[in-house]
Structure 1
Amino acid sequence: MSFNPFKEKVVDIESTIQSWGELYPKHYNKNEVDPYTKTRIILMNGAEFESNWFSHQFSRHCTDNELRREIAAIRRIEKQQQMKISNLRPLDETILETTISYEQLAVDLTCALAKSEKDKNVKASLDFALLEDFDHLYRYADLLEMDQGVKAENLVGHYTEIMPGRPTIAHHRCPHDTIKKFTDFNTADLRTKLNINIITAAEQQTMNYYMNVSSLYKNDIGRKLYLEIGMVEEEHVTQYASLKDPRCTWLEDLLMHDYTEAYLYYSCYMTEKDENIKKIWEYSLSQEIAQLHKDVELLKKYEKKDWEQVIPNGEFPEILELKSNKEYLREVLKTANITSDKDGYVDVSKLGKDSGFYKYQEKVNKNLDEVVSHTVIEDYIDKNGEDYRYQESPHPFPELDDKKSDNTTVGRVK
């Protein structure tokens, strides 16, 4: 069924402002909710934060107060949306349990986007970071079982395997290697533009979550793990954001932000199983369409452009569905020895000894006993004889199949 938000009937944008009672939703039951309902909530929380923060930056770089007032009005509603969605999380869900859902989202969202991606450069970027988020899921899962006795395989509904990816110790790269070639907005496929916006927002949400909860965790090993992985998420946000075309105008980008959100809300509505949350997606979609139509007005008024000049065909592509991607992930895992090198990706054995990667590794990883992503697994193995995994068959990268030792060389050492 085709859906074009630019041709939908629109409500008055001011009518979508909600009261305090409307803003505080009924939270989900963590013991009954579908894992992908939780990941959709995290995704839309991140999409709203990205739009809200983009709007703040727009306002800070705009000299026209009339335009700044218009985007402030849109931003206030976006903030209401974000706060409402974030409060769907229940009081009894721990920081670490929520983290497992963050990483399941990172894994299965990235797989879904990569499988749909036509641009080779963008797909390579998705496949590369996928293996790192997959490894983060494994390390947080071991900490969860060690600290709380909770098996992450139950939280992910057995939809996503839990085992090592490219080891986190290998993720720490020279900042120069996180910048990629930007995509030409005018010639890129609509799905590519959506994919870049979606993954940037999702990874930014993860980065922000780890940044904020790192100091709130109950012990040092957990605090250090959030610190380390939070730094990797900063790399991912830089990498994905560098794919965006920096030549777009602020109003073109505003339109694309709200179009992306409308697409995501529509996808969430079409795939949601929880009836209470499905209603939130439906109402949020109507809010987003109202914002999108306001963007169209602003683009026409201030830049004399029609929306078709930014998004030639407004019809949504195939909806985004979050689901299990075990086979695709296992195939990508065969590239675990790849690292990032300026615009591209190479086998770590091809790098020269004077590369930025090795120089940075020597600085941050000079003492293995200080690399908590490694020591948390070693601690678990010391206590239990082997690590915690949910692995359905032998690991597709043999060097990562040993349950009794944490590998620190894959993707890192010649």
Structure 2
Amino acid sequence: MSFNPLEQRGIPLDRQVRNWRELNVEPIDPDRCDPYTRCRVITMNGIEVEAILFSHQLARHTADPEIKRQLARVRYIEAQQQKVVNWLLPGVSSVLETTIAYEQVAVDLTAWVARMEPDPYLQQAYQFGVLEDFDHLYRYANLYEMIEHRKAESIVDNLTEVMPGRPTRFHHRDAYDNVRDPYDRHAVNPLSKLHALTIMSAEQQTMNFYMNTGPTYMEPIARQLYQEIGLIEEEHVTHYESLVDPGETWWEQLVNHEYNECYLYYSFMEQESDPKVKAIWELHLNMELEHLRVACDLMRRHDGREPQEVLAPELPNVLTFEPNKQYLRELLATQMDLTTLGAGYVREAHERFEKMQEQIHGGEAPPSDRVMAGHDEMFGREYRVQSEGEHPDPAMREK
């Protein structure tokens, strides 16, 4: 693939505003769509939300009214894009069904990034996080069968396995140990910047989703599980955002954001199976090419540098949603018992970890354990029968 977004011209900004009819997109059919189409929708919603929030933060840190106005013009279009993307999700899906799709995104997006990440330290960060999202998917699957009496496989379509990961009770760590070392912006592969921004944005959107939807359930165990996993998503956002070099200037970050949007819309356009959704990815790509051009002009004027100094000369291979079953099973077999210590990882529980476990659990079973007990009481069995390749020791699945 050879596609350099810096050399492409998109739709002029003054032609990008859409009317209500154009914004009123037809949602995907949850019973017939490719599950990875839904994953792409959820991912791009998170990317667009991050673009909007970043633009607001930049606007709040500049006194120049012309910069504020330029950011506002682009941000309004980003807000329209976010509405179109997020409104592709069907209203007939329950919050819990959407939650399971969010966790499918977290598992297969993070696993793919971990497989493709060229930096070993960054790769380890993604490998560590994905085993926790893997277990979140499993806990929500148990809750889904308890409340709605359906299997999560009906949503993920067996593209992503639903089985225990690193047990959720062990995801609660002292905040000190959630901060990783950042990459070096001068030496890192440009692809690593895109990976870090993508995963951070996706996890941030999941955190926001759980913060706002968790208390909408009536069932006490559902409210409690969302509260617990919502706290862990806060840890994950801290984990991933700390990978980004804080020395990047506002303008460097701005062009990285816009370049990443071009990369993802191009990637999803290339693999999308739904013609209507594919047309949206193509339209948004052509909008983002112009947003990138605007960001590059701002960088030249206010940072005194050429965007080519920090961006890849052409887009990397497309980011792909695909099954990662074997890769995840290898991680389960080798990294299940990891926890964090400072900016690194260890296999033994340490004083801060044990203290946090005692503080947060208070000697009681957390919601993630109680949902398992409730499922067993209701159905008289575990969520799924052990299959070939699954860890044979039940104690290790809960340890």
TM-score by length of 2: 0.97
- The answer to whether the 8 A contact 1:395-1:401 is kept is no
1:74 shift after superposition: 1.0
Q: Shift in Å at residue 177 of structure 1?
A: 0.4
Say if 1:166 and 1:337, in contact at 8 Å, map to a contact too. Answer: yes
Cα distance in 2, alignment partners of residues 257 and 210 from structure 1: 24
The answer to whether the 8 Å contact 1:368/1:374 transfers is no
- In the TM superposition, what whole-angstrom CA distance separates every residue of 1:261-311 from its partner, at most 9, and x where no partner exists? 110000010010001100000001011111000011111122221111221
What per-residue deviation string (whole Å, max 9, x for no partner) do you get for residues 134-167 of structure 1? 0000000011011111111121111111111011
* Residue equivalent to 1:327: 326
The residue aligned with 1:9 is 9
CA distance in 2, matches of 1:177, 1:252: 28
Q: Does 1:122 align with 2:117?
A: no
Identity of aligned residues (%): 41
| Amino acid in structure 2 at the alignment position of 1:220 | P
Q: Establish whether residue 318 from structure 1 lines up as the match of residue 317 from structure 2.
A: yes
Q: Which residue of 1 aligns with 2:368?
A: 373
8 Å contact from structure 2 (residues 13, 290) kept in 1 = yes
What's the counterpart of residue 38 of structure 1?
38
Structure-1 residue corresponding to 2:352:
356
Aligned counterparts of 2:80 and 2:123: Cα–Cα separation in 1? 33
Q: Give, in angstroms, the shift of residue 397 of structure 1.
A: 6.2
| Whole-angstrom distance in 2 between the partners of 1:5 and 1:14 | 20
Q: What amino acid is the match of 1:254?
A: L
Residue 250 of structure 2 aligns with which residue?
Answer: 250
**1:81 to 1:309, Cα distance in 2 relative to 1, 3 A:** same
Q: Please tell me whether the aligned partners of residues 329 and 389 of structure 2 are also in contact (alpha carbons under 8 angstroms).
A: no
Q: Deviations over 1:102-148 (max 9, x none)?
A: 00110000110000011111111100011100000000001101111
* Residue segments in structure 2 that go unaligned for 5+ positions in a row: none
Q: What secondary structure, in the 3-state scheme, does the structure 2 residue paired with 1:295 have?
A: helix
Whether contact under 8 Å (1:55, 1:75) holds in the other structure is yes
Answer yes or no: is 1:139 the counterpart of 2:135: no
The equivalent of 1:73 in structure 2 is 73
CA distance in 2, matches of 1:19, 1:391: 52
SS at match of 2:10: coil
**How big is the alpha-carbon RMSD for the aligned residues of Structure 1 and Structure 2?**
1.3
How far, CA to CA, are the matches of 1:17 and 1:201 in structure 2?
A: 24
- The residue that corresponds to 1:194 in the other structure is 194
Q: In the alignment, is the contact (CA less than 8 A) between 2:182 and 2:242 conserved in 1?
A: yes
Deviation at 1:91, TM superposition (A): 1.4
Cross-structure match for 2:113? 113
Summarize the alignment of residues 5-404 of structure 1 with structure 2, pairs less than 5 Å apart. Answer: 5-311=5-311, 313-334=312-333, 335-349=335-349, 351=350, 355-369=351-365, 371-389=366-384, 392-396=387-391, 398-399=393-394
Whole-angstrom distance in 2 between the partners of 1:70 and 1:159: 42
Aligned residue pairs, count: 398
2:190/2:310 contact within 8 Å kept: no
Letter in 1 for 2:377: D
Superimposed CA distance per residue, residues 7-40 of structure 1 (whole angstroms, 9 cap, x where no aligned partner): 1123211211111111121001110011100000
In structure 1, how many angstroms separate the alpha carbons of the residues matched to 2:384 and 2:205?
26
Question: Structure 1: where are the runs of 5+ without partners?
Answer: none
Shift of 1:348: 2.5
Q: Any idea what SS the aligned residue of 1:348 has?
A: coil
Give runs of ≥4 in structure 1 deviating > 4 Å: none
